[in-house]
Every structure is written in structure tokens, then in C-alpha cells.
Copies of this chain bind each other. A is one copy, B any other.
């Protein structure tokens, strides 16, 4: 008759593992390690919001490390500080549009690539093989920078169909 309890323990374990995997993947994708682990906590916590202290406890990390991670997640717009509910502790939670934002943050990098390509195209002669390569690179990033916003629009519509009117 302890099947239910055992099942619950299994689920907890699996959740923890999934969170860890997620953090590793996010880290490979360029996020700092601690920021990635923190983001995983925001996703998998069973509370509506968490404090820095709770994150530190859950990750067994120092308050300092958590503070830095939270700051960086805030700056990218993935989490938000909640209007203080009369407590001394700051509460944070995942933003509703976190995923779209995570994706959007690529745009900065794309802009930089595009600029580098443009400079290359301009300073390079017609017959130079580099000119052809850089032109193609420029065209690709121009295309992408145009497509991404459209894609995110489709996502938002996909999520909440027919809000218009």
C-alpha cells in the first residue's frame, strides 16, 4: 500500500533529473552554468514564486552565486521580480513569455554577425572569393532577422488564438 508514495518518490527523482538535464543543455546553449541551474529551478518548482534563499538551498549553492544568476536572468528578461507582498524577501518567478524571449535574445548575436558580414562585403573586391562568401552570409542573416519575428508572431497566435476584436 505504499505504492503511491513510491511512485511519488520516483516522480521527484525524475523531475530532478529532468531539471538537471535541462540545465546542462541550457548551459551548452551559451547560458552560464549557475544561471541555467537557476532557470531550471524556476521551471520545476511547485511554488508560484521563489526567493533567492530558496534557490540557494535547492541548488546547494552560495547566496552570492545565486544573486549573480538571478541578476543575469532578470537582465535577459526570463524572470521577473514580483511586487513585494509585504515580506523582506524578494520573490521572483518565470515570465510568461520566457521562451519567446530566450529565443529572441539571439537577435543581438545575429545583428553582430550581419554587421561583420556587411563590413566584409564592403571591403572586399568583386572577384575575391571572400566577397561571394560574405555576400551569402549577409543574405542569410538578413533573411533570418526578417523571419524570426514572424515566427514568434505565429507562436503567440498559436498559443492564444483569436484575441483580435
Contacts and interface: CB of A to CB of B under 8 A. Distances in A.
Contacts of A130: 15, 43-46
A9 B82 CA distance: 55
Given A136-B99, A144-B103, A154-B147, A109 B48 contact: no
A25 B116 contact: yes
A50 to B, nearest CB: 11
Given A18-B116, A120-B44, A129-B47, A109 B140 contact: no
B48 A129 contact: yes
A160 to B, nearest CB: 11
A159 to B, nearest CB: 7
Copies in the complex: 2
B15 A123 contact: yes
Interface string A60-100: 00000000000000000000000000000000001000011
A14 interface: yes
A143 B158 contact: yes
Interface string A119-157: 110111000111001101101110110010001001100
A29 interface: yes
Given A28-B30, A147-B154, A45 B129 contact: yes
Nearest to A43: B133
Interface of A: 10-12, 14-15, 17-19, 21-22, 25-26, 28-30, 42-48, 94, 99-100, 103, 106, 109, 112-113, 115-117, 119-120, 122-124, 128-130, 133-134, 136-137, 139-141, 143-144, 147, 151, 154-155, 158-159
